[in-house]
Amino acid sequence: MSSPKAYAAVDLGASSGRVMVGRVGPDSLELAEAHRFANRPVRVPEGLRWDVLGLYAGVLDGLRAAGQVASVGIDSWAVDYGLLDADGALLGNPVHYRDARTEGIAEQVWARVPAAELYARTGLQYAPFNTLYQLVAARSSAQFAHAERLLLVPDLLSYWLTGEQGTELTNASTTQLIDTRTREWSYEIADRLGIDLGLFAPLRRPGDPAGVLRPEVLEETGLTGPVPVTAVGSHDTASAVAAVPALGERFAYICTGTWSLAGLELAAPVLTEESRAANFTNELGLDGTVRYLRNIMGLWLLQECVRAWGDPELGGLLREAAGVPALRSVVDAGDAAFLAPGRMPERIAEACRASGQPVPRTPGEITRCILDSLALAHRRAVADAQRLAGHPVDTVYVVGGGARNALLCQLTADACGLPVVAGPAEAAALGNVLVQARAHGVVGDLADMRRLLTRTQPLTRYVPRGGTARWEAAEARAATG
């Protein structure tokens, strides 16, 4: 019997990147970390930027550590991009989505394309950092004037590895320039906003070939060519949802990490005005699916607090938080007031004070406030998604880093009144690997991929406790927080 094939998954998050090696056979799926590296945004006089050259160096180091692989796939966060000149050279470090340059831009966009019409065409919720708003903000810059090509972050790294340019569809759907019904560019929307879609490279789908590693890359990494690069769900959430170990359709998912992405997998978008008002987004997934979800601020709130407290040990914080009375104070975890970095413990305390709730003061109290608030936001998102889509569920799957947080998972089960299945924690990397393996004939369709996950990955089940009445009572307090 031949040994399982190895695939390298480049998985870039907002605070770190890593190269993982997945070994996939018909009845086996193993994942190991080859290399992890920091992703530290840099504030320069013109604003907040990504150190994309440092990320690329980390990718090369990771491929060297990974050893010989059958393919490479890249996923990352969404919306951000690099601009290339006519020679294919990068014109500057990509702007970070938390940069302030899009302040006030939405009103300019809506004056040309009303928000309701924009949603009806693209299905995307309003977020100030959507690529569409970034492009309108950048139009008058000297850098933009010299741009001949725009590549989203994972496509930029793929281009440097292979010399070939493309725009992967699941990530393109987060630009707010894709018609979610046709799964193609919306030229009408772009034309009305003065955006040249010719800046984008041709669309690719997950599983499409994306070139082979250049000779210079092979030399630097020590790999023996040819090594293909395969387009995966290059938006990390698309890869993570592909790795939800659900059997059947009656499930909700929460992809947890810096953000919580909570919602459903559907066959068609939900484009109603009620859906827009509820701030749900329709992003594209594998095999014609739609990721119908709400963006919630996520563990970013806790990450920023931990940074402000000098990086204390997380386990101790969670044990302290478990001893704090439940739902003592809650905030709206989706509030854009928490988007920017800095002073997070003080800002959470101020929000509680403003809504007349007890003010959390110790790290344990603030941590419990954050976790209760996230569970409450998960509850609202799962309930609203079912109602708006007419799609009932009986299980919630928590994947990503938050799957390791037992307190958050139990609170989410309690808040939703539904069982929670937690795992896999490395969902994005696993989804990345499985799409590569499928493209190379090792596994079958999406359902087959998920069956393999249920057979091979450790999963933990949490049963709801205590009824949902107290969570219902807490919702009004969070809404006024």
Q: Tell me the per-residue pLDDT of 379-410, one tens digit each, with 9 for 90 and over.
A: 999 999 999 999 999 999 999 999 999 999 99
Would you call 196 a catalytic residue per the annotation?
no
**Cα separations (Å) of 281 from 125, 265, 276, 278?**
5, 12, 8, 9
pLDDT higher than threshold 50 for residue 175:
yes
- 480 pLDDT tier (thresholds 50, 70, 90): low
pLDDT at 1: 47
Q: Tell me the per-residue pLDDT of 10-50, one tens digit each, with 9 for 90 and over.
A: 999 988 999 999 999 999 999 999 999 999 999 999 999 99
pLDDT higher than threshold 50 for residue 481:
no
Contact 5, 29 (CB under 8 A): no
Q: Tell me the per-residue pLDDT of 404-441, one tens digit each, with 9 for 90 and over.
A: 999 999 999 999 999 999 999 999 999 999 999 999 99
Two structure tokens written together for 74: 């890249």
Instruction: Provide CB contacts within 8 A for 391, sequence distance 6+.
Output: 249, 264, 266, 385
Burial class (CB in 10 A: 0-12, 13-18, 19+), 267: exposed
**Cα separations (Å) of 299 from 14, 26, 108, 175, 334?**
12, 35, 31, 23, 11
Contact 341, 304 (CB under 8 A): yes
pLDDT at 67: 98
- Please give the mean pLDDT across all residues of the chain: 96
Two structure tokens written together for 385: 């998604």
Q: Tell me the per-residue pLDDT of 251-301, one tens digit each, with 9 for 90 and over.
A: 999 999 888 999 999 999 999 999 999 999 999 999 999 999 999 989 999
Q: Which residue is listed with tokens 């509850």?
A: 379
- 476 pLDDT tier (thresholds 50, 70, 90): confident
> What is the percent of the chain where pLDDT is above 70?
99
The one catalytic residue in 11, 236, 332, 372 is 236
- Find, among 136, 173, 137, 138, the residue nearest to 152 by Cα: 173
The CA distance from 68 to 225, in Å, is 9
Instruction: Provide CB contacts within 8 A for 383, sequence distance 6+.
Output: 416
